[in-house]
């Protein structure tokens, strides 16, 4: 059983749509990270959360510690948002990753 589950696995959206990617985890955590990976491999850290909500431009990340759930929202999606989005959690001395959500935004 994976410690971190993401949904959906694949997502196609029209430019301008509001997008939500979900992440559920089964262990107690010290922090949750949302990462973005573009084709070619480079990974960028978007958010690190331990509670509440964070916003950066068109991206919003929320976390509910009691429900062990986090969401990443993209408002007014754009083709340049096309990437794989990965949820990761840190717990003690370990770091666990979700399998990623592949997002394609069509112009």
Partner 1 sequence: KAGVTQTPRYLIKTRGQQVTLSCSPISGHRSVSWYQQTPGQGLQFLFEYFSETQRNKGNFPGRFSGRQFSNSRSEMNVSTLELGDSALYLCASSLDTLGANVLTFGAGSRLTVL
Per CB under 8 A, residues contacting partner 1 are 30-31, 33, 35, 41-45, 48, 50, 86, 88-91, 93-100
Nearer to partner 1, 41 or 107 (CB): 41
* CB 1, CB 26: distance < 8 Å: yes
Nearer to partner 1, 12 or 50 (CB): 50
In whole angstroms, how close is the CB of 61 to partner 1 at the nearest point?
13
- Distance CA(23)–CA(5), nearest Å, equals 6
In whole angstroms, how close is the CB of 41 to partner 1 at the nearest point?
5
In whole angstroms, how close is the CB of 90 to partner 1 at the nearest point?
2
Nearer to partner 1, 9 or 12 (CB): 9
Long-range contacts of 36-39, Cβ-Cβ distance < 8 Å, separation of 24 or more: 36/83, 36/84, 36/85, 36/86, 37/83, 37/84, 37/85, 37/86, 37/100, 38/83, 38/84, 39/83
Nearer to partner 1, 82 or 102 (CB): 102
């Amino acid at each position: 059983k994976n410690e971190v589950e993401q949904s959906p696995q694949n997502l196609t959206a029209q430019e301008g749509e509001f997008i939500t990617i979900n992440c559920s985890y089964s262990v107690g955590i010290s922090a949750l990270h949302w990462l973005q990976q573009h084709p070619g491999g480079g990974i960028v850290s978007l958010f690190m959360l331990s509670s509440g909500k964070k916003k950066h431009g068109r991206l919003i990340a929320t976390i509910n510690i009691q429900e062990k759930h986090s969401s990443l929202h993209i408002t007014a999606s754009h083709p340049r948002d096309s990437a794989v989005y990965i949820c990761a959690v840190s717990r003690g001395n370990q770091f666990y990753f979700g399998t990623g959500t592949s997002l394609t935004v069509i112009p």
